[in-house]
Structure 1
Amino acid sequence: MRRIYGLLLCAAMLLLGAAKASETPEGNGSIRGKITTTEGAAAADVTIQVKNSPKGAISDADGNFQIKGLAAGSYELHISLMGYQDLTEKVTLAANEAAVISIRLQLTQKELEEVIIKTGVRSYKASAVSSSLRLQTPLLQVPQNIQVVTGKALADQQVISMSDGAIRNVSGAIRMEHWGDMYTNITARGSQIQAFRNGFNMVNSFWGPLTEDMSFVDHIEFVKGPAGFMLGNGDPSGLYNVVTKKPTGQTKGEAGLTIGSFDLYRATLDLDGKLSKDGKLLYRLNLAGQQKKSHRANEYNNRYSIAPVISYQIDNKTKLTAEYTWQKASMSDLGSYYVFSSAGFATLPVGFTSLPAGLPGTNINDHTVLLNLQHQFNSHWKVTAQAGYSNYRQVGSSMWPNAVNPNGTMIRSVGSWDAKSAMTMAQAYLNGDIATGKVRHRILGGIDVATKEYFADWGQSHALDTVGAEFNTRNPNLGAPVNGYPSFNFRTPLEQRAAAIGGTMSMRNTGVYFQDELGFFDNLLRVTLAGRYTTVTQAQWGGAAITASRFTPRIGISVSLDKQTSVYGLYDQAFVPQGGRLANGGKVKPITGNNLEFGIKRDWAGGRWNTGLTVYRILKENELTADPFSPPASGLSIVMGQKRAQGIEFDLKGRLAKGLDLVANYALTDSKITRVANGVTSMKVGDVVPGYARHTANVWLTYRLQEGVLKGLGFSSGLMFLDGRKTYWDISPDPNQVLPAYTKLDAGISYEKDNLVFNFNVFNVLNKYLYNGSYYSWLKAYNWQTDPPRNLRFSVNYRF
């Protein structure tokens, strides 16, 4: 009966639409045009409605629209973009006339680009960042390398989690140790970069945060180098900021189904609409469920997420947004992704595993709550305050061998990994855009505070095998282990177990900052002067808390050579507090980082695509290493010396021609020790610092037919290339055992028709044995983690 009622309802709606359409005279006339901003950029997703008529259109990514079937007469077009002043355009048509008009919206480039990003622009290129990065400046004018991975790129590439290939869209970004789909752990410019979400630093240990499911992600922003305006303490290599979906004010939805290799079954639902007739109370709800296995036996990765968002427009100047995200992960043992052998890299099959059937997995519950309040005093001043709370709970284990033998046998061991994290964070900042005489000032000032605690019990272990009954990697038996399964004590409170083994971490930080971007000569020359003062109290591995404070300056210069081209230079600093005791009794200083960066950016073809070329150098000082003249158990350290990372980065993104979208990037990275302190013998000047590939190159190209009976049919191809990989922890004793070049070819076909989108991708088309790994001297063995062999994904999405 429900199906019959649904069909009757659809038929009634069709008849009603036809009746309304009949009220408007039909003809052979048309109105087409292009909508741009005051600065000439194309305006996408603008609604054009014919007054007193059902006819209308929505502008495409190039700002173009067309309304057909109009009779001779006078028409009034209503042009609207959510959250901005509407426009009215009058057009008079003669019989069978095709009128062409141009409409220029009276909005600033920054305002338009923010709306485009929030509503999901259908492009690989973005021209501005989210408000959570606190900047008011278009990306073309920002004196720093910032790359935005749009929702369109993520959808075309069928990225389903933060660790699922999103980094191919950014120059120089790689992953070292995979940890499956649990942690992302991205490195760039020679070090691990910080993980942010909506402007909050979500890192609370060396293993977090949990990877975000793409169902509730709008886009991702990669900031290269220090960012004193938001990075209170962290590595000077940079950060990535995951921006979640927000209500748009439009009533719409999208449902998606994905199936793929290794028993992948995935469903998503995105609902967006109004909770009140006046449009002041809006909502967004994203749901996702996934079951997935692996190319290795006995592995699984089941994920579920719920992400509701509610926003309320209190008045014309004030808006409150409340957001909750829950992610649940049920995964097989985390250490099963690692393969060990004393014979060398890739000496076992790509699908090899030592994971026995029946070993209990890991369960994770991750909760995040965010409140955001924005108040626009006037057209020049705006204040934002937001608070966040994150609670993460993990119960599981991690496999790691006790011994790896030359004859191919090993003794497997399973360790407890019971952990929880709690973070409370708050921010308040003020944005201003004013002028003093002929000088423009884009002002940013604010404060942020955070309290973080982490507890982990990894102190319990259980050997699955025994001497004389070792696990044989050449003839693996994945049944019940000879020594049985582990039975860990999880009854004692976690805090007590963590304290007993030194598995506690805590951090409290407070930072105040101020930035003024001064614009001279009609804003053709921009000088950024900024500073931040941060105090951090941090304790690690159960040690005593150490407090460090530092002022970090920021100086930038950006010059517009024309409306499409800018060159810039930047000097910035960051610092990382560290724990330890110096052998000479001195005070431990935080790691300091100095970043010097120069670049050129250009928009091409009216802003449809852009390029950026950057050169940089990062110096890190004061990092500690073990004192070679003291017993290891003493815990004493000395200052190691200086590390240097430098390189070149190139990024290209956007629509090169009608229907042709491209992401391409290349990075040359070099990271070495440039100075060694007296007494340090474990390393020397010129040694490589692990955490990068010397050459990285990525391409993703999509072409979609724009006309004919096959209109909407698209073809995609992608390439990932890494060479000169320096991702190891220990240097191999065999100089011939190095990580080879990594080449991964992907290809896909898609079809868009009305509200339906079909997408089919083949990953690792060449079926290559792809892996990343390292030598571990204490095991005298090599370890590596393999990528899946050739695999497929097919998805269908319906927009309503």
Structure 2
Amino acid sequence: MSRFRFHLAPLAAAVTVLLATSGAQAQSVSAPAALTAPVEIQITAQPLSQALVVLARQAHLELMVQPALVEGRSAPAVQGRFTVREALNRLLAGTGLHAEVEGRSVVVQRLSQSSETATMPMVTVSALEERGSTTEGTDSFATRAVSINKGDQALKDIPQSISVITRKQLDEQGITDLKQAANIATGTVGVTGVGQGMVLAARGFQIDNWQYDGVAIPRNMYSLGNWAAEGMAFYDRLEVLRGASGLLQGTGSPGGAVNLVRKRGQNEKTVTLTTRAGSWDRYGVQLDAGGPLNAEGTLRGRVVVDEARSRSFVDYVNERARSLYAALDYDISPDTTVGIAVSQLDSKGRPFIYGVPLRADGSDVGLPRSTFTGALWNRDNLKQTTVYADLNHRFNADWKLKVSALHMSETNNSTHQRMHGAVAADGSGMTYADWITHFDSDKVGLDAFVNGRFDAMGLRHEVTLGADYSKYKSDDMYASNFTSGGNLFDINHNRPKPTVDSLLAAGGRKAYSSYDVQQKGVYASWRAQLTEPLTAIVGARASWYDLLYKGSLFDTREVMRASGEIIPYAGLVYALTPQWSAYGSYTSVFEPQSARTAAGKVLDPIIGSNYELGIKGELMDKRVNTSLAVFRYDHKNRGVNDIASGYACDGWFCSTASGKVRSQGLEAEVSGEVLRNLQLVAGYTFNTTKFLRDPDNQGKVFSTWTPKHMLRVWASYRLPGDWSRLTTSAGFATQSHTLGYDRSFDIPGFTTWNMRIAYQVTPEVNVAMNLNNIFDKRYIVPGYTGYTGANYGDPRNIMLTLKYTPRL
């Protein structure tokens, strides 16, 4: 739940928070009857401000309260069937406050200030502003606003497809890293990379720039590729925009953009201690604490500490990870807030890089999913330190400024054995590959924009003006050597541990490489209300891009520059009703490429056009979001791996331009409280990608890891009455087949089922059990399958969670 504090100087005397009013079901009951009849209430012990918001949503009330009255106060748990009056009395007991109930409106005031409060000016602040900054505490799979589009905006007002994975969904489904989160979002996939990291993709295209609180930085430009990783412990939610995102981040992916929105300093004291234990000796503990650090509540803090120890269903694999996060938010004035934070990840273990080799025809050898092809001396160490800073200033009720900065330093060191090749019938034909890698990179991102609203010609308008900058520098080294004669049925896990010198002495190679990439741009957008129901959005971005690449293997030095590239954007949103809007949008793509040809030349930029038509709805008093979209994207000059060139580009494939490619399809999604106590998120995607013009692949599928059909469903139901402490959840993910790396064989589609049972033992203690892959489906996760062998999905597994939230 976002802070219950609104820094609007003219409104400091009083604030009205308008929350979800009654839905169709509640509207059929008269106001007096609805307020006197018992209703199911489920409120955990928490800050009073948040508890009142939860009560208003569950009882379908309009709540009016001055933030100063409830600031710093706590509320007890209220669980069971109560009338509104009974629930209010329990929440306000001992606070010196009481509630006046009039119709469906509730006014909270001091016992001695009834007359004073009645004369105070009450100003309605919409739930969009109150809920847009966080999903914590909302107990919902839906959110009414996102910040990925520069400033909080309602989903139905944005003419592109956007999904949000809220904190509730992350916690319920046990999501701990970004790859898992991508694989529960509509239309996105997260696959294992060539390294131990991941690749994010949507609509058939990689998303290589990731946003952190709206600041975009490159996260997938390592020399050896795909070693990026990201946990979810520090983040409130994940926002995913699908479709071209050039206006947001310049050289954006045509697939879309992701925005990780971090947790903030809290307005009330809260402490949550979570412990977990599961299959394969997976254990963890997390402390999440925060609250005001001074009497005025103008300085707020947040600390997250997460320790994890785990083995794997794959033999010998293990990991030890420590994640730390600390954040401060300070109100310099009622209109200006600055935030700073730092996070650190330190992960060590024995990794499994690459997968289990396949037969020459791409078929599964049939070995146990626990098969480990590495060596016992496999080791890796990932370290990541990130510093965040931002400033939010409100000039007045209509004009705001936000300035954000980010610095991330990252190192990834590993020594590991791989095993690859086409498996013969007797298991022979294997090659052992010994690798030593050291990847070191620094990323800097800056973003500043001003957003304002004004009236002209009797209609509402909104403008955004901004500029951003990003810089990426890497200093990478790898050494490798290949030894033939291995047998998949008799893997040697005890081969001699290599050093750089021993690899070179055995005829291997050592290479250095570095990137120095800078991008800057200015952007602007204008939302103009042409008529009462019709809004036009136009925008443009000018981008400057500089890339310098150096590689020692072929003494390569490449320079790429682009100056003043213009990226236009246009959209229309038509309000069919207060709940439904139809839209259409167009944007172009300018995407420089760091890939090189076998001749050593950097590929020309990608140029493309993205079209989308859709309809969006905010239903059930804005507790449910729905969307339906059709899309098409065409582009040219896309780089694809030049397999014929071998590993001529620093131990990896070189690239060639692919000609023209098309991605098109349909997406549908619903999220939120579709029935009383029933939360649902369901998303379906139909997506085809094809080479329209290509010397070798014309007519073939472009994206080998994008299934034509994807359906992801998760539902959570809190039982009524005497069983109200029990919440049951279940869902499934299903997708059609994908292709192997060289498109010569199919990877079968699959369906997995998961479930969860949670019980509120006391107001402070909650226990839950997650059972994943209930039917123990054996399946191969799409990715670089064939080149990296087969990476299997997790077998059936269980995770037990105990969460303790003491009253403070």
Is the CA contact (8 Å cut-off) linking 1:336 and 1:399 kept in structure 2? no
SS at match of 2:171: helix
Q: Say yes or no: does 1:175 pair with 2:190.
A: yes
* CA–CA separation in structure 1 for the residues paired with 2:410 and 2:768: 34
User: Of the candidates 448, 453, 456, which is equivalent to residue 468 of structure 2?
Assistant: 448
Query: What is the identity, as a one-letter code, of the residue corresponding to 1:435?
Result: D
Match of 1:514 among 496, 516, 524: 524
Corresponding residue SS for 1:124: coil
- Bigger shift: 596-605 or 403-412? 403-412
Match for residue 598 of structure 1 among 613, 629, 646? 613
**In structure 2, what is the Cα distance between the partners aligned to 1:355 and 1:587?**
35
Pair 637,656 (structure 1): closer, same or farther in 2 beyond 3 Å: closer
By how many angstroms is 1:110 displaced?
Answer: 2.9
Q: C-alpha deviations, 1:567-605, integer Å up to 9, x for none?
A: 100001221112578899999631012110011011221
Q: Does 1:364 align with 2:382?
A: yes
Q: Letter of the 1:608 partner, please give it.
A: R
Alignment of 1:364-513 (within 5 A): 364-401=382-419, 403-406=421-424, 407-409=426-428, 410-458=430-478, 460-463=479-482, 467=485, 470=486, 472-478=487-493, 480-481=494-495, 484-488=496-500, 501=511, 503-513=513-523
Tell me which of 59, 67, 87 is aligned to 2:88.
67
SS in 1 for 2:125: coil
Asked if 2 retains the 8 angstrom alpha-carbon contact of 1:645 and 1:671, the reply is yes
Aligned pairs for 1:69-148 (under 5 A) are: 77=98, 88=108, 106-115=124-133, 117=134, 119-130=136-147, 133-148=149-164
Listed as ranges, the matches of 1:541-690 within 5 Å are 542=551, 543-549=557-563, 550-579=565-594, 589-624=604-639, 639-676=657-694, 680=695, 682-690=696-704
Q: Report the alpha carbon displacement of residue 797 of structure 1 after superposing the two structures with TM.
A: 0.6
Shift of 1:387: 1.5
CA contact (8 A) 2:374 2:419 kept: no
Separation in 2, partners of 1:352, 1:455: 35
Q: 1:726-769 CA deviation, whole Å, 9 max, x = no partner?
A: 4x32022xxxx421121111112111241222110111110111
Per-residue CA distance 1:223-247 (angstroms, 9 max, x = gap): 1112234212132110111111001
Which of 779, 782, 788 does residue 770 from structure 1 map onto?
779
* Alignment pair present for 1:191 and 2:199: no
**Conserved in 1, the CA contact under 8 Å of 2:189 and 2:706?**
yes
Deviations 1:154-203 (A, max 9, x none): 11111122223x234422212333579x5332221011124222222242
Deviation string, structure 1 residues 536-574 (Cα, Å, up to 9, x no partner)? 112346331200131000000001111110110000122
Alpha-carbon distance between aligned partners in 2 of 1:269 and 1:106, rounded to the nearest angstrom? 36
Distance in 2 between residues matched to 1:59 and 1:560, nearest whole Å: 39
Q: Tell whether 2:752 aligns with 1:700.
A: no
Corresponding residue of 1:537: 546
How many pairs does the alignment contain?
A: 721
Following superposition, the deviation at residue 349 of structure 1 comes to: 2.7
Give deviations 1:371-407, integer Å, cap 9, x for gaps: 1111111111111112211100111134333644413
RMSD between superposed Cα atoms in Å: 4.0
Residues 43 and 171 of structure 1: CA distance in aligned 2, closer, same or farther (over 3 Å) = farther
| Cα distance in 1 between the residues matched to 2:417 and 2:683 | 36
Residue 690 of structure 1 aligns to a residue whose secondary structure is: coil
In structure 1, give the amino acid aligned to 2:698. Answer: K
Q: 1:454 to 1:199 in 2, by over 3 A?
A: same
**More displaced 10-residue stretch of structure 1: 193-202 or 545-554:** 193-202
Q: Does the CA-based 8 Å contact 2:481-2:503 persist in structure 1?
A: no
2:736 aligned counterpart, secondary structure: strand
Distance 1:51 1:256, change over 3 A: closer
Q: Does 1:326 align with 2:344?
A: yes
1:790 match: 796
Assess, with a 3 A threshold, how the Cα gap between structure 1 residues 331 and 339 changes in structure 2: closer, same or farther.
farther
Q: Aligned letter for 2:500?
A: F
Paired residue secondary structure (2:724): coil
| Partner amino acid, structure 1, of 2:200 | I
The alpha-carbon distance between structure 1 residues 105 and 257, as it changes in their structure 2 partners (threshold 3 A), is farther
> Which residue of structure 2 lines up, in the alignment, with residue 8 of structure 1?
none
AA aligned opposite 1:544: E
1:479-529 CA-to-partner distances (Å, cap 9, x unmatched) read x12xx111235999xxxx99x73532221001100001112444x321101
Paired with 1:252 and 1:447, the residues of 2 have a C-alpha distance of 36
Distance (Å, rounded) in 2 between the aligned partners of 1:171 and 1:52 = 38
Whole-angstrom CA distance in 2 between matches of 1:259 and 1:632: 43
CA distance in 2, matches of 1:53, 1:504: 51
CA deviation after TM superposition for structure 1 residue 624, in Å: 4.6
Partner SS for 1:556: strand
User: Alpha-carbon deviation of 1:625?
Assistant: 6.0
Contact 1:203–1:209 under 8 Å retained in 2: no
Residue in 1 aligned with 2:15?
none
Contact 1:296/1:352 (<8 A) preserved: yes
* TM-score under structure 1 length normalisation: 0.82
> One-letter code of the match for 2:525?
Q
Distance 1:487 1:367, change over 3 A: same
In 1, the alpha carbon distance for the partners of 2:402 and 2:69 equals 37
Question: Would you say the 8 A contact 2:245–2:253 is kept in 1?
Answer: no
> Residues 489 and 327 (structure 1 numbering): CA distance in 2 closer, same or farther, change over 3 Å?
farther
Q: How far apart are residue 141 of structure 1 and its match?
A: 1.3
Residue 67 to residue 340, structure 1, CA distance change in 2 (3 Å): same
8 Å CA contact 1:664, 1:699 repeated in 2: yes
From the superposition, tell whether residues 645 and 591 of structure 1 become closer, same or farther in structure 2 (CA, over 3 Å). Answer: same
Q: Contact (CA 8 Å) 1:298, 1:355: kept in 2 or not? A: no
Secondary structure (helix, strand or coil) at the match of 1:213 reads coil
TM-score relative to the length of structure 2: 0.81
2:197, 2:229 within 8 Å by CA — same for their partners in 1? Answer: yes
Q: Report the equivalent of 2:5.
A: none
Residue 640 (structure 1) shift: 3.3
> Counterpart of 1:703 in 2: which secondary structure?
strand
Could you tell me whether the CA contact under 8 Å between 1:457 and 1:501 is conserved in 2? yes
Q: 1:439 to 1:105 in 2, by over 3 A?
A: closer
Q: Which residue identity lines up with residue 364 of structure 2 in the other structure?
A: A
Structure 2 CA distance for aligned equivalents of residues 422 and 554 of structure 1: 31
| Whole-Å separation in 1 of the counterparts to 2:267 and 2:285 | 24
The AA in structure 2 aligned to 1:751 is Y
Supply the distance in 2 between the matched residues of 1:396 and 1:599 (Cα, whole angstroms).
46
C-alpha displacement of 1:211? 2.9
Asked if the contact 1:334–1:362 (Cα under 8 Å) also holds between the matched residues in 2, the reply is no
Stretches of structure 2 that go unaligned for 5 or more consecutive residues are: 1-34, 42-51, 101-105, 113-120, 552-556
Deviation at 1:291, TM superposition (A): 0.5
Equivalent AA in structure 2 for residue 706 of structure 1: P
- Equivalent in the alignment of 1:750: 758
2:770 corresponds to which letter in structure 1? N
Mapped partners of 1:627, 1:51: distance in 2: 63
| Distance (Å, rounded) in 2 between the aligned partners of 1:136 and 1:52 | 24
Where do residues 138-287 of structure 1 align in structure 2 (5 Å cutoff)? 138-164=154-180, 166-177=181-192, 182-194=196-208, 195-204=210-219, 205=221, 207=225, 210-287=228-305
Contact 1:341 1:408 in 2 (8 A): no
Structure 1 unmatched runs, 5+: 1-27, 80-85, 93-102
* Aligned equivalents of 2:688, 2:476: Cα separation in 1: 35
